[in-house]
């Protein structure tokens, strides 16, 4: 009989093995910091109508053209696994009539997203993203506050030496003028452009600005600057952003090549990188999208937001000196107590003891297999990363007590059975006792 095939994850998908505590740590910080700025959590569906992303992200974008997981459902409707978070939030804004409530609307979100692209370190086909959107305020001070919030969040994760890249992609008429000038500059150099850039030259010349090809980057050194094409309102908006960031002590660099990969961006765009870990590492990017909701059939409502690749962020957090120790401290507080009933007739008592520990807020697991030797069960407790073991058998029942053993030094003590959970809590978590 042929051996059954063992299944593997689909290429580009991955199990979060050993990283779940770090993911939880980051998500806890998201909720803690973003809520201070008035943001509420929202969760949108994983599947949306394909047309939402075609209209919202842009038909000529890399995401729509090459990277979306799109399929027909049983009624023949074209659906897509969400590749990004802003368009779904814009759809939710319209569908749930958020415009009738207090403005601006501030929301953040976390969850899985999907893009069919070449898997590489920190980048997957199913990836996790953290994002936030501020909808309803056209002013530059919202741009500033969003960046200040992000820098605080990253600082609390342990990042230092952060760099903020800033640019303005202007309003639609600014971009049209600049796209013509950039196309005129690049067309005579078509032989120096790669296939992707030649295609972008026809569909969206601004995307060429973020090329990584050395030859193309050298060519762009002499290209016209988008800043020189900004109209008065866009120029004034960007100036206020720069001035106010300076007043808040935010160091930034204006990067004329900085554009975002999606079509809906207007005016302020930004990227935050970290240099403390060696080579520059992009942590997040975002910007303003004042025309997106109108493009989706709603009124003209401005917005600004950002997206963080959480997989990549967690990898970077774990490389920060001291990060694992901080996470281990958090883990230590949640390490379970292992309850080991000695003898088959005491398994019910073991479950009762474990339940009392849990009621006191102490994680507990119970080793029910009384047929195994005690030594083997203690080894199993150690494999569960338990520092403490609670033993209960015939002698303990007769004496009205339990035995608490510390794996660290092998010591143990007896504790009265009555009210034992409080005594265990005081022993294993003395810092929480008043």
- Residue 121's pLDDT is 67
What rounded mean pLDDT belongs to the chain?
86
- Residue 255's pLDDT is 87
User: In DSSP terms, which residues pair with 304 in a beta bridge?
Assistant: 134, 288
Higher pLDDT, 398 or 207: 398
- Residue 32's pLDDT is 95
- Residue 26's pLDDT is 93
Look-up of token digits 């042929």: 2
Token representation of residue 420: 């034992």
Res. 325 pLDDT band, cuts 50 70 90: low
- Residue 262's pLDDT is 62
pLDDT in tens, 168-206: 988 888 888 888 888 888 888 877 788 878 888 877 787
3-state secondary structure of 341: strand
C-alpha closest to that of 169 among 78, 268, 94, 243: 268
Is a pLDDT exceeding 90 seen at residue 130?
yes
- Residue 276's pLDDT is 62
Is a pLDDT exceeding 50 seen at residue 332?
no
**Can you tell me the distance from the alpha carbon of 220 to that of 173, in angstroms, rounded to the nearest whole number?**
22
Look-up of token digits 């973020």: 210
On whether the CB atoms of residues 235 and 260 are closer than 8 A, the answer is no
Is a pLDDT exceeding 90 seen at residue 82?
yes
pLDDT in tens, 259-290: 775 667 889 999 998 876 555 578 899 999 99
On whether the CB atoms of residues 87 and 117 are closer than 8 A, the answer is no
C-alpha closest to that of 409 among 384, 381, 388, 425: 388
Least trusted range by pLDDT, from 105-109, 206-210, 286-290: 206-210
User: In DSSP terms, which residues pair with 306 in a beta bridge?
Assistant: 132, 286
Is a pLDDT exceeding 50 seen at residue 329?
no
The tally of CA atoms less than 13 A away on the side-chain side of residue 318 is 15
pLDDT in tens, 350-389: 888 889 889 988 888 888 777 788 888 888 888 888 888 8
Q: Kindly report the pTM of this predicted structure.
A: 0.81
Instruction: Walk me through the domains of the chain, giving residue ranges and CATH numbers.
Output: 20-171+231-325 (3.30.930.10), 336-432 (3.40.50.800)
């Amino acid at each position: 009989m042929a051996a059954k095939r063992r299944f593997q994850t689909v290429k580009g998908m991955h199990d979060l093995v050993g990283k779940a505590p770090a993911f939880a740590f980051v998500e806890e910080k998201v909720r803690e910091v973003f809520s201070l700025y008035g943001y509420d959590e929202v969760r949108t569906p994983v599947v949306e109508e394909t047309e939402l992303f075609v209209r919202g992200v842009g038909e000529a974008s890399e995401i729509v053209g090459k990277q979306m997981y799109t399929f027909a459902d049983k009624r023949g409707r074209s659906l897509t696994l969400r590749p990004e978070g802003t368009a779904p939030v814009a759809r939710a804004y319209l569908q749930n009539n958020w415009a009738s409530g207090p403005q601006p609307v501030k929301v953040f979100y976390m969850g899985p997203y999907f893009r069919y692209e070449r898997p590489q370190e920190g980048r997957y086909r199913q990836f996790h993203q953290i994002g936030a959107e501020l909808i309803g305020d056209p002013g530059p001070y919202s741009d500033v506050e969003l960046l200040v919030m992000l820098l605080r969040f990253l600082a609390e994760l342990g990042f230092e030496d952060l760099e903020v890249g800033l640019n303005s992609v202007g309003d639609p008429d600014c971009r049209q003028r600049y796209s013509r000038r950039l196309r005129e500059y690049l067309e005579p150099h078509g032989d120096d452009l790669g296939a992707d850039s030649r295609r972008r030259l026809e569909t969206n010349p601004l995307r060429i600005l973020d090329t990584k090809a050395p030859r193309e980057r050298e060519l762009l050194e002499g290209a016209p600057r988008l800043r020189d094409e900004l109209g008065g309102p866009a120029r004034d908006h960007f100036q206020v952003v720069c001035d106010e960031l300076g007043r808040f002590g935010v160091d930034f660099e204006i990067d004329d090549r900085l554009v975002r990969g999606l079509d809906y961006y207007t005016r302020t765009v930004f990227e935050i990188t970290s240099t403390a870990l060696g080579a520059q590492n992009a942590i997040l990017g975002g910007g303003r999208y004042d025309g997106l909701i109108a493009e989706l059939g709603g009124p003209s409502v401005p917005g600004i937001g950002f997206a963080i690749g959480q997989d990549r962020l967690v990898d970077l957090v774990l490389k920060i000196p001291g990060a694992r120790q901080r996470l281990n401290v958090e883990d230590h507080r949640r390490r379970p107590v292992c309850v080991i009933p000695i003898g088959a007739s005491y398994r019910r008592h073991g479950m009762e003891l474990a339940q009392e520990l849990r009621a006191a807020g102490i994680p507990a697991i119970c080793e029910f297999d009384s047929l195994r030797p005690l030594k083997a069960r203690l080894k199993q407790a150690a494999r569960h990363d338990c520092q403490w073991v609670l033993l209960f058998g015939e002698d303990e029942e007769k004496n009205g007590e339990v035995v608490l053993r510390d794996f660290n030094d092998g010591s143990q003590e007896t504790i009265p059975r009555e009210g034992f959970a409080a005594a265990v809590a005081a022993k294993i978590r003395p810092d929480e006792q008043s």
